[in-house]
Structure 1
Amino acid sequence: MNRRSLLAIAASAACLLSMGLAHAADQDTLAAIREAKTIRVALEFGRPPWGFKDDKLKMSGSDMEAAELLASDLGVKLEIVEVTGPNRIPFLQTRKADVVLSTFSITPERLKVIDFSAPYASAVQIVGAPKSLPLKSEADLKGKRVGVTRATTGDVELTKKAKDFGVEVVRFDDESTNMTALASGQVDIVIQEPATLTAVAARNPQRQLEPKFIFTQFPVGIGLRKNDPALKSYLDQWVKTHMADGKLNAIYRKYHGTDLPAEIVKPTN
């Protein structure tokens, strides 16, 4: 083998080693969090009771309290990065946030591009509409206009079925806009979480809004970047610990008015 070949092999090996070391360093988010003494958590505040701002504009909600618990256990400062549903993954992938803790349903589509912790909660999406509309199943959505929040599980699941049922999917960029459209009559049917629909119904009694049926349900996890084993291991153990001591269930009950489903508290696998 001549000198030129040896130099080329050495250069290639050095390049691969450099790339490998850089990749490993890039993925050690847990170490970076501890070094910075801060965890940047992406959280959406237009989705009560998961995330919202109270009448004094204080950040609140079950996800907010869970984020505070996570930062406390890590012994670091909590830095909230405000997001909307559609930009949760982009903010994570572009490293504007370390994790996403924001009603993030674990779906096959999302698992292709990011990882999740073990489920810490469960998100139910229901069909909501005025009492005068007789809706009992998905088949009753045929030919109807249905409002969804863009990039949520409700949007994804309805889009899959829209052609079969002849549904017109009306997308809004955030939860508040979706629910404003329902309250004002811009749309008469939405896919939404029960607590959000209940709150909007209470503020708009003339609309006589009510839940019709469960449309879909997904476990909710903490989103993190792919190939980040130390952080994933920590988050999985963190969820397991606080499922066992009841802290995550207590947070969920405080804001959602019910306990976590048994399959989330004590998973079979």
Structure 2
Amino acid sequence: MRKISILLAGFFALIMAWACVAPASAQQSNVYADVKSRGTLRIATVAGNPPYSSVGTDGQPTGYDVDIGKALAEALGVKPEFIIVDVPGRIAALQTGRADVTIANFTATTQRSTAVAFSRPYVVVGSVFLALNGSPIQSIEQLNDAKYKVAYARGATSEQTTAAVVPNAEKLRFDANNDGFLALQSGQADAVFMDSLQAAAYVAKEAGKYRILPGNFSYEEIAIGMPTGDFDWWRIVDGWVGQFNGSGANNTLFKKYFGFDLPAIK
């Protein structure tokens, strides 16, 4: 983490230098002022969504998104404070002022952008159906049958996409992505609809156990969520993400948790 924060420190120093010479009449970020005054960056994230985020045996949050939050907090010169929320809570935490940012495998969509602000993406994913390798299901057309059960996380983009792609399959709705994955492992579900990179990480980690069914069913830009109405806070966080992506720091963290290089963000 120290090496990553050193790579990004220069960018944050430039932002602070600009702020010092900006006109006194320029609007100051209320969120940034609160973060600095408090000395902590409040980060909403979810549990049960490895390798993005989960809670370790020590009770502390861990994962790719968690380390991104730590890197951002260090660049800002404050300590990270994690707030565990459910999937719908990713937006509510920002709207109610409980969190300064949401870093939680959070897809930037037009609908969500009417309620919260988003940075540029730090990873771009698709959505796929994951099945056990020994499953008789070979295609989405075959999966789209009332005799098969498909698991997905409530409140996520997967909810609408699953209904559209396999309308005839029985749906199993879970509070967390990992709960759907566990349903697949236990035989409660025949397939789970999930993030394409998350699925690829499971396949790579346990070779021969899982199989991704043919087809990709979404394009999703995963970004940092922020409260609306604070341009300076958006500018600071969005600029940091750009440097995080371009410096190679993002790839380092991604490879640590997923086991392969970060795909090009485009």
Q: TM-score if structure 1 supplies the norm length?
A: 0.78
Distance of 1:89 and 1:78 partners within structure 2: 19
Instruction: Kindly tell me the number of residue pairs found equivalent between the two proteins.
Output: 235
Identical columns (%): 29
Distance of 1:182 and 1:192 partners within structure 2: 12
Deviations 1:164-183 (A, max 9, x none): x4233221111232122222
1:134 aligns with 2:164: no
**Residue matched to 1:15:** none
Distance of 1:98 and 1:185 partners within structure 2: 39
The structure in which a higher percent of residues are helix is 1
Unaligned runs of 5+ in 1: 1-23
**Residue matched to 2:42:** 40
**Residue matched to 1:211:** 212
Report if aligned partners of 1:179, 1:200 keep a CA contact under 8 Å in 2: no
Distance of 1:195 and 1:145 partners within structure 2: 20
**Residue matched to 1:155:** 159
Query: For residue 38 of structure 1, what is the amino acid of its counterpart?
Result: T
Report if aligned partners of 1:182, 1:189 keep a CA contact under 8 Å in 2: yes
User: What's the CA shift for 1:86?
Assistant: 2.2
Report if aligned partners of 1:104, 1:223 keep a CA contact under 8 Å in 2: yes
Distance of 1:122 and 1:233 partners within structure 2: 20
Distance of 2:71 and 2:179 partners within structure 1: 30
Deviations 1:201-256 (A, max 9, x none): 978x8xx4322233334111000122220111011110111222111121112111
Query: For residue 211 of structure 1, what is the amino acid of its counterpart?
Result: I
Distance of 1:257 and 1:60 partners within structure 2: 16
**Residue matched to 1:178:** 180
Alignment of 1:48-127 (within 5 A): 48-127=50-129
User: What's the CA shift for 1:66?
Assistant: 0.6
Deviations 1:110-131 (A, max 9, x none): 1222110011122333201123
Structure 1 residues 107, 133: CA separation in 2 closer, same or farther (over 3 Å shift)?
A: farther
**Residue matched to 2:248:** 246
What's the Cα RMSD here?
Answer: 2.6
Distance of 1:180 and 1:258 partners within structure 2: 23
**Residue matched to 2:4:** none
Distance of 2:201 and 2:188 partners within structure 1: 18
Distance of 2:218 and 2:224 partners within structure 1: 19
Distance of 2:201 and 2:57 partners within structure 1: 18
User: What's the CA shift for 1:199?
Assistant: 4.5
- Which moved further from structure 2: 65-74 or 215-224? 215-224
Structure 1 residues 56, 129: CA separation in 2 closer, same or farther (over 3 Å shift)?
A: same
Report if aligned partners of 2:61, 2:82 keep a CA contact under 8 Å in 1: no
Report if aligned partners of 1:154, 1:216 keep a CA contact under 8 Å in 2: no
Corresponding residue SS for 1:216: coil
Unaligned runs of 5+ in 2: 1-26
Structure 1 residues 38, 200: CA separation in 2 closer, same or farther (over 3 Å shift)?
A: same
